[in-house]
Amino acid sequence: MTLKTLFMQGPSFDGFDGGAGARYQMKREVKSFWYPTWIAQPAAMIEGSRLIDAPAQDQSWDDIKHEVDDKELVILHTSTPSFNQDKRTAELVKQRNPKALVGMVGAKVMIEDEKSLKACEALDFVCREEYDFTCVELASGKPLAEIDGITWRGPDGTIVRNKDRAQIENMDVLPMVSPIYRRDLDLTKYYGGYQRHPYVSFYTGRGCKSRCTFCLWPQTIAGHRYRHRSVAAVIEEVKYVLKEMPEIKEIFFDDDTLADAHDFVVELSGEMRKLGFGTKGFDITWGCNAKANVPQPVLKAMKEGGCRVLLVGYESGNQQILHNIKKGLLTKVARQFTKDAHALGLTIHGTFILGLPGETLETIEETIRYAIELNPHTIQVSLAAPYPGTFLYNQAVENKWFDGTDHLLNDDGTQIAQLSYPHLSSAVIFDKVEEFYKRFYFRPRKIGAIVGEMVRDWDMMKRRLREGVEFFSFLRHRKEAA
């Protein structure tokens, strides 16, 4: 018999994007919510389960507390920044339904399993590694002692660490997540500043061969080996979206770097075109994450298959910093990639990080000028975040660049600068984010492009005006936080 199971992204900061698809769990410069793909996946594998994504759906504990009353298994996704809020939610679940088995999933509890259990008495277990089949076994009622990939609290209070769970090799064993979105979520609540609205995102594969020292998922749950679904399986889910979610205007394949797998993405693009993507009169588009080194022929195939937008992690304009973080990218290659993408008519959302090892006032200036030169359509500027489980975290603790605390956000969910160097303080790094945004967006060329976009499209006019209000509010709150 299957236990009545609830998967939950618990209530958090107002506007906090902490879902298991978010690379940085924080409030964004404009309203942004990623789909909770990592917990939607096991929800799709357990009959009768329920998924709640409270932050994106603007739900408080009072809005959802009744949902736990009849549940026998409650699994919360957590992250380093949201753990204290999620701990409180676990306690509230246990108080309301003492008989329920309560656990957490996510990179935070994978890396700090015993610490997390000791910090939260309401937790019966935490899941490590890829936890899809771990959750299935938990829901089947299998004894905790026999489930790979969990650390749990024994009857006498001792903490027991079971053996690791093996990675999933055949990704086609995982069912589609889109039907769970359709069933349990309001799709209009999910936004991306660079994505058409409404959009939907899911994974075609997991893992990333790159070794970026700051990147959380490949160093913890997903691993560095890229394992992807078959093209046929991906197309099956795309067909489901087209049929059952007619309001969707864009599909985002959220793999860390889908375009790294050249043969796979070219074949996928060809099959997307057969469905109508990229053809005249077909209004739905797609996008994906890409490293700034995708060859022009691959980009061309993607564009012909209906790809519209690429999320590209440029990180820094300084070559030595890219070497320091093991990015495996040359700025001259990134420049050529960007020229190729622009020539093909692909939209780029560029992401940059300030405060990485080797950062100076001069390298920050170099990165701002680099971003202006590349001129992606939109940008996101983040602060270097040392997440436990990453090389950057260990490096930062060892070099005393920060004190090893988990406080990556302030009390309202805004990201703070954790790293501080003898020659460059965290306060200066924090202030440079605002300067970066202003110098990129407040220039005639960019303002003209944004206004032109708004004039041509009434929906875009309303959206950009809303985002403008959110952006200035974001800058104001950052000042107050500082």
**464: pLDDT strictly greater than 90:** no
Averaged pLDDT, 83-95: 96
């790159």: which residue's tokens? 210
- Per-residue exposure over 334-368, b if at least 16 CB sit within 10 Å of its own CB, e if not: beebbebbeeeebbbbbbbbbbbbebeeebbbbbb
pLDDT at 453 over 90: no
345 — pLDDT class (breaks 50, 70, 90) = very high
Note whether 395 and 357 are within 8 A (CB).
yes
Is 122:102 a contact under the CB 8 Å cutoff?
A: yes
pLDDT in tens, 258-301: 999 999 999 999 999 999 999 999 999 999 999 999 999 999 99
Q: At residue 43, what are phi and psi to the nearest 5 degrees?
A: -60, -35
pLDDT score of 463: 67
| CA–CA gap between residue 257 and residue 328 (Å, rounded) | 13
Query: Is residue 411 very low, low, confident or very high in pLDDT (cuts 50, 70, 90)?
Result: low
> What average pLDDT does the segment 30-38 reach?
84
CA angle at 291 for the pair 285 and 296, rounded to the nearest 5°: 70
Alpha carbons 219 and 78: distance in angstroms, whole number: 17
Neighbours of 173 (CB within 10 A): 12
Determine contact, residues 47/61, Cβ cutoff 8 Å.
Answer: no
Give the CA-trace dihedral at 438, 439, 444, 446, to 10 degrees. -80
Phi, psi of 56 (to 5 degrees): -70, -35
480 against 366, higher pLDDT: 366
pLDDT at 15: 54
Q: Mean pLDDT over residues 297-321, rounded?
A: 98
Note the residue count of the chain.
482
Region 213-240: mean pLDDT is: 95
- Average pLDDT on 302-327 reads 98
305/122 Cα distance (integer angstroms): 49
Dihedral class, residue 476 (left if φ above 0, else alpha if ψ from -120 to 50, else beta): alpha
- The pLDDT, as a whole number, for residue 1 is 85
Rounded mean pLDDT, 164-188: 97
Angle between helices 426-441 and 458-481 (to 10 degrees): 160
Helix-strand-coil split of the chain, %, nearest 5: 45, 15, 40
The per-residue pLDDT for 431 is 92
pLDDT at 208 over 80: yes
Minimum mean pLDDT among 7-21, 74-88, 247-261: which range?
Answer: 7-21
Between the alpha carbon of residue 98 and those of residues 1, 39, 137, the distances in Å are 20, 23, 21
> Where does the pLDDT of residue 12 fall: very low under 50, low under 70, confident under 90, or very high at 90 and above?
confident
| pLDDT at position 27 over 70 | no
Whether 378 has a pLDDT exceeding 80, the answer reads yes
Question: Are 251 and 238 in contact, with CB atoms under 8 Å apart?
Answer: yes
Look up residue 100 and give its two tokens.
């329920």
For range 235-244, the mean pLDDT:
98
* Amino acid symbol at 24: Y
Collapse the DSSP code of 131 into the 3-class scheme (helix H, G, I; strand E, B; otherwise coil) and give the result: coil
How far, in Å, are 123, 302, 409, 480 from residue 83 at the CA level? 12, 38, 11, 24
* Average pLDDT value for the chain: 91
Is residue 308's pLDDT more than 80? yes
Q: At what angle do helices 231-244 and 262-274 cross, to 10 degrees?
A: 40
Distance between CA 400 and CA 176 in Å, rounded? 44
End-to-end alpha carbon distance in the chain:
53
Model confidence at 178: pLDDT above 90: yes
